[in-house]
Amino acid sequence: MPKQVDAATLKGWIRDGRELAILDAREDGEFGRSHLFWAVPCALSKAEARARALLPRRDVRVVCVDGGEGHAARLAAFLEGIGCGDVSVLEGGTPAWVAAGYVAFSGVNVPPKAFGEWVEHHYHTPSVDPAELKAMMEAGTDMVVLDSRPIDEFRRMTIPGGINVPGGELVYRVGDIVTRPETTIVVNCAGRTRSILGAESLRSAGVPNKVVALRNGTMGWELAGFACDRGRTVRYPEGTPATIEDAFARADRFARRHGVKTATRADLERMRGEAGRTTYVLDVRDPSEFAAGHLGGSRSAPGGQLVQATDQWVAVREARIVLVDDTGVRARMTGGWLRQLGGWEVFVLTDGLDGRLEEGMAPPEVPESTAIRVPHIAPAELAALAGEGAVQIVELTRSIDFRDGHIPGAVWGIRTRLARLAGRLTGDRHVVVAAAEEWQARLAAEELRGIVQAPLKILAGGTAAWKAAGFPLAADRRDPPDADCVDFYLRPYDRNDGVEAAMREYLSWEIDLVHEVEKDGDAPFGAWV
């Protein structure tokens, strides 16, 4: 049975300079209500894949936490079962942490968001408010608006006239997009963090233009009464920029200034074989570039998102992070920010794409699912049965994605909580499980065997195959309702009610983070450089 540690002991571990991962076993939406600053979400429903990705070294020190419900003990038992040898559980969970006088944080991706506020204060990053930007547009100012978010967020809503250039691409691409030093560059995101970090990336790299962040991003724009564009797809030109030499020189100065080191593939092999050290290998290029060819054993982690949402890829404090790209620009810029965010030794792999490469997006390693035998059903057959009302469909996707589009008639579920669907599933019709990835469907089907009497099947190719076959999707913004979206921390614009109030609350929360971090005392941003 995993050992228990109290809050004071864990506080000491956070500060002792040794490798440590704090994994929170709750669903992301539950995690977002209250959690430790350096805790990383590792929901039980995804733990088989996520824990293995977050913990490249199985003997690293791990503490499992929750909200006092007992999920942490289950996660700890699973970790021990896959070979983790130093696992503890925080006694009493997050409530005990707070009772001991320590700070708990709401929201997700808190360390990077707090870091963004620190960057603005530390570097005095200039910004314009929405009314100023609107006036600049109407006056015909020589300017360009660069949206630093991934393309899916950009399509959802963006500033009119904006161009999609995710944060990790900005220094790499800006020379080809902005050819006149007189042109003002405005960087935006949905709120604050990526606007600030994107603008400061260009400034710190020495881009000669005037660069400003859009204060409060698209949320601030809409709160000011201006309309966002939706469905816009304009983004940076593909391929290696013509201005690569200037971009590399800027990125190299930035990386060196902040203590980023370089390594070769031979060095990486030695790192991987070193006992007592965790090494993450992350490819910071666009996911499409990663899929076209990448270093074996690396994971796709686009640079801007890696800095904005570090805890999606990295859980172990004091670990090594090795970054891979093609020209060295994106890896160096990303590395410079990770060093300032702090707590990791960061390397850029100089020959990471030389030699043999792997293609595609490899499915996660989930050996628990491979032994489960469940019949498959093709999308066309499922569509025919569904049209006759002869099948029941359970769909395992993010709640926010289910709302946007799901197989008609499907009910939404979360693995490990499927018992809640028992009253909606009868024994007279087949149950088909559809999921984003087959390992999830297999494990869910195994759990459903103990809940329903009906025969079970898995949708071959999952929800992606259904969409690829051209079958219709149903959309309902209120299914599941906001209160049930425990698997996803709803952003203000994802909510069905009180959106404007939620936007204002979110922006105030971001601004206040820097003060909450000072109270916590465990994030000395910039101190590692």
| Angle separating helix axes 110-123 and 193-204, nearest 10 degrees | 50
Which residues, at least 6 apart from 339, have a Cβ–Cβ distance to it below 8 Å?
A: 258, 259, 260, 346, 528, 529
Residue 106: pLDDT over 60: yes
Residue 529: pLDDT over 60: no
Selection from 262-266, 447-451, 516-520 with the highest mean pLDDT: 262-266
Lookup: tokens for 311: 């805890």
Q: What would the mean pLDDT of 128-141 be, rounded to a whole number?
A: 98
What is the fold of 367-484?
A: Oxidized Rhodanese; domain 1 (3.40.250)
Classify domain 114-237 by CATH architecture: 3-Layer(aba) Sandwich (3.40)
Give residue limits of the domains in the chain: 3-108, 114-237, 250-349, 367-484
Superfamily of domain 250-349 in the CATH hierarchy: Rhodanese-like domain (3.40.250.10)
Residue 113: the pLDDT is 96
Taking the alpha carbons of 256, 261, 265, 266 in that order, is the dihedral positive or negative? Answer: positive
Contact in structure between 35 and 51 (CB atoms under 8 Å): no
Q: What would the mean pLDDT of 347-353 be, rounded to a whole number?
A: 97
Place 526 in a pLDDT band, splitting at 50, 70 and 90: confident
Contact in structure between 186 and 134 (CB atoms under 8 Å): no
Pick from 320, 254, 327: nearest CA to 289: 327
Share of the chain above pLDDT 70, in %: 100
Residue 368: the pLDDT is 95
pLDDT for 428-476, tens place per residue? 899 999 999 999 999 999 999 989 988 999 999 999 999 999 999 999 9
Give how far Cα 414 sits from Cα of 375, 394, 399, Å: 21, 9, 9
Determine which of 91-95, 161-165, 436-440 has the lowest per-residue pLDDT on average: 436-440
Place 427 in a pLDDT band, splitting at 50, 70 and 90: confident
| pTM, to two decimals | 0.96
> For residues 456 and 69, what is the distance between their CA atoms, to the nearest angstrom?
30
Under CATH, to which class is 3-108 assigned?
alpha beta
Q: What would the mean pLDDT of 135-141 be, rounded to a whole number?
A: 98
pLDDT for 9-67, tens place per residue? 999 999 999 999 999 999 999 999 999 999 999 999 999 999 999 999 999 999 999 99
List the alpha helices (DSSP H) in 405-487. 438-448, 462-468
Half-sphere exposure of 233 (CA within 13 A, CB side): 1
> For residues 141 and 43, what is the distance between their CA atoms, to the nearest angstrom?
48
pLDDT for 296-322, tens place per residue? 999 999 999 999 999 999 999 999 999
Helix and strand tally (H, E) in the chain? 22, 21
Asked if residue 480 has a cis previous peptide bond (ω within 30° of 0), the answer is: yes
Residue 198: the pLDDT is 98
Residue 11: the pLDDT is 98
| DSSP SS3 for 236 | coil
Half-sphere exposure of 138 (CA within 13 A, CB side): 7
| DSSP SS3 for 183 | coil
Contact in structure between 206 and 253 (CB atoms under 8 Å): yes
Contact in structure between 39 and 62 (CB atoms under 8 Å): no
Residue 109: pLDDT over 90: yes
Residue 431: the pLDDT is 95
Residue 1: pLDDT over 80: no
* Arithmetic mean of pLDDT over the chain: 96
Pick from 81, 98, 102: nearest CA to 2: 81
Same fold, 114-237 and 250-349: yes
Pick from 215, 214, 236, 218: nearest CA to 226: 218
Give how far Cα 50 sits from Cα of 55, 313, 366, Å: 9, 9, 9
pLDDT for 360-379, tens place per residue? 998 898 999 998 999 999 99
Residue 363: the pLDDT is 86
- CA 32, 35, 38, 42: dihedral to nearest 10 degrees? -60
| DSSP SS3 for 163 | strand
Place 283 in a pLDDT band, splitting at 50, 70 and 90: very high
